[in-house]
Amino acid sequence: MRYVSTRGQTPPMAFQDAIITGLAPDGGLLVPASIPDVSAKLPEWRDLTFVELASEVMGCFIDDIPPEDLRGIVERAYATFDHPDVAPLIDLGETQVLELFHGPTLAFKDIALQFLGQLFDYTLGQRSGRLNILGATSGDTGSAAIAGVQGKGNVNIAVMFPRGRVSPLQQLQMTTIADANVHCLSIDGSFDDCQSIMKRAFADVPFKTQHNLGAVNSVNWARVLAQVVYYVYAALKCDEGDGVDVSVPTGNFGNIFAAYVARRMGVPLGRLLLGTNENNILSEFFNSGDYTRGAVHHTISPSMDIQVASNFERFLYFGFGEDGPQVANFMEQFAQAGTASVPIEILANEPITATAINTEQTLATIARVHQMHGYVLDPHTAVGVAAADLLAPPTARERPMVCIATAHPAKFPDAIRQAVPGVDARHPRLDALKAMPERLVELPATDAAVRAYMEAHLF
């Protein structure tokens, strides 16, 4: 399996090279040169555990790691989860909720980043290499990435987060880590500012090469690959013969793009429902064909407070028939003007249907689900559940509906109390953070400030 750039100007490379490279040198994102068809394998995969299935699915995309080594990487990654099923399905009657928050940081990002941390450790060990990870987070990615690599001697990690725009608990999960290889950078700007600084650093090939930069954001293909696994898992567990629909809250498009890949692999997924919050650039695109950057709105679902979705480029690559120059032209136009568009006809045959869910709808969904089922949704998961109810009302569903639960509700106690007064969402792992000292560095939202810090403190 070879990996190519969405912009078509990077020579194909093997899986491990793609993972260490992160962002392609031409500024594009790395994708498989072909998507394998696994439909014939699905019957034999149906009764596998999550760990067994992960090894099989990932093995379809990885041919430069021996199968027994890959199995060890996967087993070590998911040994950190506190549920025997890793990603349990919870039956709420008209909806199945896929809980992805049983990892070390109580968020779905652990599914991918525990795997990626083990993968980095394996590959760097094979090559006697070192890596400086530069990441940007709107909330959960930072702590999950840190948890994946903290204490590892051949990796440094610097995570940028927008000051005051992540939840207090999300910040504590990053800044209370004491390991010397962890650097938390509080940036005076938005998540999009952080992400832009990161992308420009990776696009500067001499700087990237000099400092051995690696990526843990969803620009790294391994992130998407690990997420593909849980869509295969959910489909095999819930399919009653006509496939499964899924509803996904997303800001950066990586989570739902993984479902899109799984569907292209022949996994029985029907409709892919996309829910955004008030930062609705993605829902506007899928309803109009226009992709236009707006102002970032600060909401109760902060991990989705994004106006530039980094994984969107991968979708464009397949939507444009794997035409790299066309993708490059679209992204250049967007970078220059803040807007670009495609004919709406291009989207007519795509499986993604999108809607925006506002704060009032999110809170109402948390309250309704708690009243009906005694189950507490975090505000991101509630966006996905609300999108499912709006786009595919329970009485009109043709297939089972799986809603992706992205975080433990205890990470957002203020939103939970606002939606369900008297309910105190807590987790002992989070409670323990409140008494711990923080380590962070405040920087302006400039390339120069971030790069100067990296040159002074990383390898």
Helix/strand/coil (H/E/C) assignment for every residue in the chain? CCEEECCCCCCCECHHHHHHHCECCCCCEEEECCCCCCHHHHHHHCCCCHHHHHHHHHHCCCCCCCHHHHHHHHHHHHCCCCCCCCCCEEECCCCEEEECCCCCCCECHHHHHHHHHHHHHHHHHHHCCCEEEEEECCCHHHHHHHHHHCCCCCEEEEEEEECCCCCHHHHHHHHCCCCCCEEEEEEECCHHHHHHHHHHHHHCHHHHHHCCEECCCCCCHHHHHHHHHHHHHHHHHHCCCCCEEEEEECCCCHHHHHHHHHHHCCCCEEEEEEEECCCCHHHHHHHHCEEECCCCCCCCCHHHCCCCCCCHHHHHHHHCCCCHHHHHHHHHHHHHHCEEECCHHHHCCCCEEEEECCHHHHHHHHHHHHHHHCCCCCHHHHHHHHHHHHHCCHHHCCCCEEEEECECHHHCHHHHHHHCCCCCCCCHHHHHHHHCCCCCEEEECCHHHHHHHHHHHCC
Whole-angstrom Cα distance, residue 393 to residue 386?
Answer: 10
- In this model, does residue 323 exceed pLDDT 80? yes
Read off the CATH number of the domain in which 352 is found: 3.40.50.1100
Residue 254: exposure state from Cβ atoms within 10 A (0-12, 13-18, ≥19): buried
200 in a structural domain: no
- Please state the separation of Cα 136 from the chain's center in Å: 12
Q: Does some domain include residue 241?
A: yes
Residue 139 lies in a domain: no
Q: What are phi and psi of 299, to 5 degrees?
A: -125, 180
Q: Write the burial class of residue 25 (CB in 10 Å: 0-12 exposed, 13-18 middle, 19+ buried).
A: middle
Instruction: Identify which of 271, 253, 265, 272 has the alpha carbon closest to the alpha carbon of residue 313.
Output: 253
Contacts of 178 by beta carbon, 8 Å cutoff, 6+ apart: 439
109 is catalytic: yes
Residue 353: pLDDT over 80: yes
What per-residue confidence (pLDDT) applies to 458?
A: 86
More confident residue, 340 or 138: 340
- pLDDT for 406 equals 97
Q: CB–CB of 317/34 below 8 Å? A: no
In a domain, 366, yes or no: yes
Q: What is the pLDDT of residues 44-59, one digit of tens each?
A: 999 999 999 999 999 9
Checking if the pLDDT of 217 tops 90, the result is no
Report if residue 327 sits inside a domain: yes
Does pLDDT of 31 surpass 80? yes
- CA Rg, the chain, in Å? 20
348 found inside a domain: yes
Confidence of residue 156 (pLDDT cuts 50, 70, 90): very high
Among 315, 332, 348, CA closest to 31: 315
Mode of pairing for the β-strands spanning 3-5 and 30-32:
antiparallel
Residue 229, domain member (yes or no): yes
Q: Quick one: how far is CA 185 from the chain centroid?
A: 20
Please give the model's pTM, rounded to 2 decimal places.
0.94
pLDDT of residue 71: 98
Tens digit of pLDDT for each residue in 382-433?
A: 999 999 999 999 999 999 999 999 999 999 999 999 999 999 999 999 999 9
Residue 65 lies in a domain: no
State yes or no: pLDDT of 318 exceeds 80.
Answer: yes
| Active-site pick, 109, 199, 208, 237 | 109
What are the residues whose beta carbons fall under 8 Å from the beta carbon of 413, sequence distance 6 or more?
169, 424, 425, 426
List, for residues 159-183, the tens digit of each pLDDT value.
999 999 998 999 999 999 999 999 9
Determine the average pLDDT of the residues in 278-300. 96
Residue partners of 434: CB distance under 8 A and separation at least 6: 172
* pLDDT confidence tier of residue 212, bands split at 50, 70 and 90: very high
Q: Identify the pLDDT of residue 218.
A: 82
Q: 3: alpha, beta or left, given left = phi > 0 and alpha = psi -120 to 50?
A: beta
* Amino acid 310: pLDDT: 87
Q: Is the dihedral of CA 352, 356, 361, 366 positive or negative?
A: positive
Structural domain range at position 334? 89-102+221-427
Helix-helix angle 109-127:140-149, to 10 degrees:
40
Please give the mean pLDDT across all residues of the chain. Answer: 95
State how many domains the chain has.
1
Enumerate residues 6+ apart whose C-beta is below 8 A from 151.
179, 181
